[in-house]
Structure 1
Amino acid sequence: MKLPRLLLPLFRALGLAAFAAASAGAAKVAPPNIVYILADDMGRGDISAYNPHSAWPTPHIDSLARGGMQFADAHSSSAVCTPSRYSILTGRYAWRSRLKERVAFGYSAPIIEPGRLTVASLLKTHGYTTAMVGKWHLGFDWARSRPSNAPAQLDASDEEPSQRAPENNPAFSRWVDYTKPFRQGPVDDGFDSFFGISASLDMFPYVWLRNDRVVAPPTHEIAGSKLPAMWRAGPIADDFAHIDVLPRITTEAVDFLQRQDGRRPFFLYFALTAPHTPIIPAQDFAGRTHTTPYGDFCVQVDQAVGEVLRVLKERHLEENTLVIFAADNGCSPAANLPQLRTFHHDPQMGLRGAKADIYEGGHRIPFIVRWPGRVAANSHNDALVCQIDFMATCAELLDTPLPANAAEDSVSLLPILTGKSAQVRETLVNHSVNGSFALRQGPWKLCLCPDSGGWSDPKPGKAPPGSPPFQLFNLDQDSAETTNLYAEHPEIVRRLGELLKQQILRGRTTPGPVEQNTGGDDWPQLAWMKQFQ
């Protein structure tokens, strides 16, 4: 049957309209590539885009900031490494897991629960090629052996090795079968590939890992080293040298990007090992800043970022690649903060505390997002944001709902990134190395401890006699947290304490059904909840 000649223009118009609508829809949902670069123990003030008085320039990170959005009130979910990394990948506060305080070690059991949705597994199910390069620090299920020559204190027939050899004890290496694959690492948590190390660079075992295997087993023990090149004594492989780690993982990240042909979107999680201890800049960087080894190491970190940005540009990938640069917590005291001050350099930019602390210096971090054409270039944002929001942001990018039992504390930043909203997060829970809590809401911050909760003064248990049990700060008026307003505003203390208690007991801070915290709701760091009945 032929169409009447008069109707042909109408059908052609309808066809073109349908094609245009389909094309527009396809353009709308076209997923971007994602590169997440995570520095280790780097302060905001270590980046010249944040700190015009920095003692060294960071031109590559600065260029990222000029091309995207720079956040001033961004936070890690914890003031130390492991819990921050758990939150980035799961969208859940790490204190809801079995890890209530401190960090994992190289032989630690897995922190991420089996079957839990991660950013990598979410993206993988939507067609992404997913890769991780660098520092894992979330534990593994190591293959176990029981050597016949194990010393008596390790020779317990029915006990786990960890009962006799703590996971941070070099002797634990004798219980590991390095010839067999380890489980519940990156490739079991959604990554197609992994190359890197098990924990921090100052934690044994000092071996390279690829996918689910040890590249070469340790053959001997290396002696410990003191600051600034500090690492713990422990087992090391013949092909492993601490000073080579940052260059090697940078090369691996670049190689992954060079293999991408544009047919599938990709996600690269590039977890740097620096400027965390051991502070050992490569020979080409040693002395470059004329300050300290830490300054030279920060410049080497900047160069690693530059290598990633370079290959994205050369491969014509940068226009559809969302790049995030952040740190896992604040600058560490291992950087020798007093020495840095002699060069008029302040990694914390006037904030109180440092890595491990409940104070802002422990968890306020550099956070930069570049996405050409979607995120305004050279823009600055004061919204309260957290790394934990990465999961929900990715879900909204994919226009896919998250399961009720996933990303319980994650809020999408997409409305902020695209200029549709000024604020998406109402509250934020802070957490210190000893498991102390704080709640942020607007300008107010309530610390549920009388001390730093970390390594700065007053150290845990060392608050001056007669100190209030909690600390309340107005960050708009007192960003350095110098004046405790606990006594002046009991109503705010009560409101924030009750709100935090509710958020903990609900197992989530986002809408949805009540979830369970691992291990229940009774651990020592929650003793303060009794005051908010």
Structure 2
Amino acid sequence: MWHKATLIISLVLSFTTSNFAQDQKPNVILFFADDFGYGSTNVYGAPKDLIQTPHINQLAKEGIHFTNAFTTGSVCSPTRYGLLTGEYSWRTRMKKGVVSPSDPSLIDADKKTLPDYLKSLGYTTAVVGKWHLGYKKEKFKNLLGKIEMGPNAHGFDYSFTVPNNLDDVHKIYIENDEIYGLRSDKISPYGKSFYGKQYAGYDAPQRVTEQVMNDLTQKSIDWLETVEKDQPFFLYFSSVAVHHPITPSPEMRGKSEAGAYGDFIQDIDRCLGLLIDYLEEKGLRENTIILFTSDNGGDIPNKKQVMPENFAMNKGLKINGDYRGDKHTIWDGGFRVPMIINHPNKIKKNTSSDAIVSTVDVYAFLADYIDKGKNITSKDAIDSSSFMDVINNKKSKYERPALIHRDARGRKAIRTTEWKYIEAKNPNSKNKDDHAQLYRIDEDFAEEKNVIGEFVEKAEELRGMLEEKVE
């Protein structure tokens, strides 16, 4: 009798546990590298005798990687806005360039962001790392006092952020709505950043560039430690590497064969590995989806003999693969990025896809993957397209609606499966690159031959589509 009762209880507990596991939503880590070009990891062609990215490699081996993944902007802020809102940044006030260190929030207060959406499903949310989307309601002189309209106003329960980039003039961290470790309101400007501008000089701990990746990784783990057991979490880990200045950590200094730039790439992989190690140690890995990608292509400076990026390229590292251009530009070297998605035993292992996907699609995809998009309204994520059919390995070929890109100067391009049309920057310019262009990208991936003269009707069709979408 006792054995029979025990068996019944065990079966009930087993059934309950099984149902709970099925109902439990997956944790999400969105690892967003900075200025990380398409060819900067082994999965996408970087030679192992120059750099080693074992953790990124393993993500791809145990998941899916995309060979036609693109950003919406070839600079930071436009893509970050699209990632978190599911909308193109040119729908905002920012028609070109990026958010400056004193600019107000680019995200409207009533905008339903990706973390907002996930919170509505019961997630706890955090962003750790680069923000670069502005603060406050209006342009500001400094970040003293309570900082309104930062990440915590846009769906994040916790934030520990670098305001703009690795060596911005603020030079401090922001934790939730205030400067981290602020001692007083005293400001003593001193020193200059990598870009030549004077640091603000807040009376608070100043960031040390070589330690920022370590700081962000530790803060991420500290936050994960606070998450209640069985509560799903969303961590947006926004890396500062490999943005200027190229300052690898002490742990990685001299470890690659591609100089400091290669070392900094390996810092990204190392910190990703530390997060994965934590998940495995806590028994969270199996129920965590990890999405790895970048905000734009790699930056290739003109000072070819003295910059770390050029040193790495001279060694044989193709930062942006074989694609034309780099960060800031209208060419694919500025938009094409690695994208890897991994969820153990849920997403088929060691697969690749040539479907066109974009960072602006992450919102719709995660909503579809987690909740079948049930809580997205017609006003949410209006430019985001779920590529769930690719993940489900459907036989029907997924084809994304035409994708729009925007370069640093506000110039736009529209992409379909076969074509890429680039609007004219200056049709009267003597420089042909300033004219409207058309490329048959399914045959000419390097954008070497402008065929606008041969396919006038197609160019007009795409120009009309671009103008219609932008209106």
- Fold similarity call, TM over 0.5: yes
Given that 2:429 and 2:435 are in contact with CA atoms closer than 8 Å, whether structure 1 keeps it comes out as no
Given that 2:171 and 2:200 are in contact with CA atoms closer than 8 Å, whether structure 1 keeps it comes out as yes
Paired position in structure 2 for 1:39: 33
User: How big is the shift at 1:465?
Assistant: 4.6
Q: Does 1:404 align with 2:378?
A: yes
Q: Does 1:499 align with 2:465?
A: yes
Separation of aligned partners in 2, 1:45 and 1:470:
28
Separation of aligned partners in 2, 1:466 and 1:329:
25
Q: Does 1:188 align with 2:153?
A: yes
Given that 2:298 and 2:320 are in contact with CA atoms closer than 8 Å, whether structure 1 keeps it comes out as yes
Q: Does 1:305 align with 2:272?
A: yes
SS across alignment from 1:133? strand
Paired position in structure 2 for 1:83: 78
1:426–1:244 CA distance, 2 compared to 1 (3 A): same
Separation of aligned partners in 2, 1:498 and 1:462:
20
Given that 2:242 and 2:261 are in contact with CA atoms closer than 8 Å, whether structure 1 keeps it comes out as yes
Separation of aligned partners in 2, 1:430 and 1:310:
36
Q: Does 1:354 align with 2:319?
A: no
Paired position in structure 2 for 1:471: 437
TM-score by length of 1: 0.79
User: How big is the shift at 1:413?
Assistant: 2.0
Alignment of 1:27-426 (within 5 A): 30-53=24-47, 55-141=50-136, 172-173=141-142, 176=143, 178=144, 180-217=145-182, 219-226=187-194, 232-237=197-202, 238-240=204-206, 241-334=208-301, 336-396=308-368, 397-399=370-372, 400-420=374-394, 421-426=396-401
Number of residue pairs aligned between Structure 1 and Structure 2 = 445
SS across alignment from 1:223? strand
Aligned-pair RMSD on alpha carbons?
2.4
User: How big is the shift at 1:60?
Assistant: 1.1
Given that 1:202 and 1:232 are in contact with CA atoms closer than 8 Å, whether structure 2 keeps it comes out as no
Given that 1:231 and 1:278 are in contact with CA atoms closer than 8 Å, whether structure 2 keeps it comes out as no
Separation of aligned partners in 1, 2:178 and 2:287:
33
Separation of aligned partners in 2, 1:233 and 1:445:
41
1:93–1:25 CA distance, 2 compared to 1 (3 A): farther
SS across alignment from 1:433? coil
- The structure whose Rg is larger is 1
Paired position in structure 1 for 2:6: none
SS across alignment from 1:297? helix
Task: Name the aligned partner's letter for residue 213 of structure 2.
Answer: L
| Structure 1: tracts of 5 or more residues without a match | 1-15, 143-159, 451-459, 506-533
TM-score by length of 2: 0.89
User: How big is the shift at 1:475?
Assistant: 1.2
Given that 1:79 and 1:358 are in contact with CA atoms closer than 8 Å, whether structure 2 keeps it comes out as yes
1:436–1:98 CA distance, 2 compared to 1 (3 A): same
1:426–1:24 CA distance, 2 compared to 1 (3 A): farther
1:186–1:466 CA distance, 2 compared to 1 (3 A): closer
SS across alignment from 2:315? coil
1:184–1:313 CA distance, 2 compared to 1 (3 A): same
Task: Name the aligned partner's letter for residue 352 of structure 2.
Answer: H
Separation of aligned partners in 1, 2:358 and 2:33:
15
| Structure 2: tracts of 5 or more residues without a match | 1-10, 302-306
User: How big is the shift at 1:202?
Assistant: 2.3
Separation of aligned partners in 1, 2:427 and 2:291:
38
User: How big is the shift at 1:317?
Assistant: 0.8
SS across alignment from 1:282? coil
SS across alignment from 1:202? coil
1:342–1:398 CA distance, 2 compared to 1 (3 A): same
User: How big is the shift at 1:214?
Assistant: 1.1
Task: Name the aligned partner's letter for residue 37 of structure 2.
Answer: G
Given that 1:326 and 1:368 are in contact with CA atoms closer than 8 Å, whether structure 2 keeps it comes out as yes
Deviations 1:51-110 (A, max 9, x none): 153521111111111111111000111101011110000000011111111001222100
SS across alignment from 2:403? strand
Task: Name the aligned partner's letter for residue 43 of structure 2.
Answer: A
Alignment of 1:478-493 (within 5 A): 478-493=444-459
Deviations 1:202-256 (A, max 9, x none): 2221111111111234743342255xxx564221445122222111011111222
Separation of aligned partners in 2, 1:232 and 1:462:
36
Task: Name the aligned partner's letter for residue 366 of structure 2.
Answer: C
Deviations 1:358-409 (A, max 9, x none): 1000010011000112211111110000011111122222131312211110
Identity %: 30
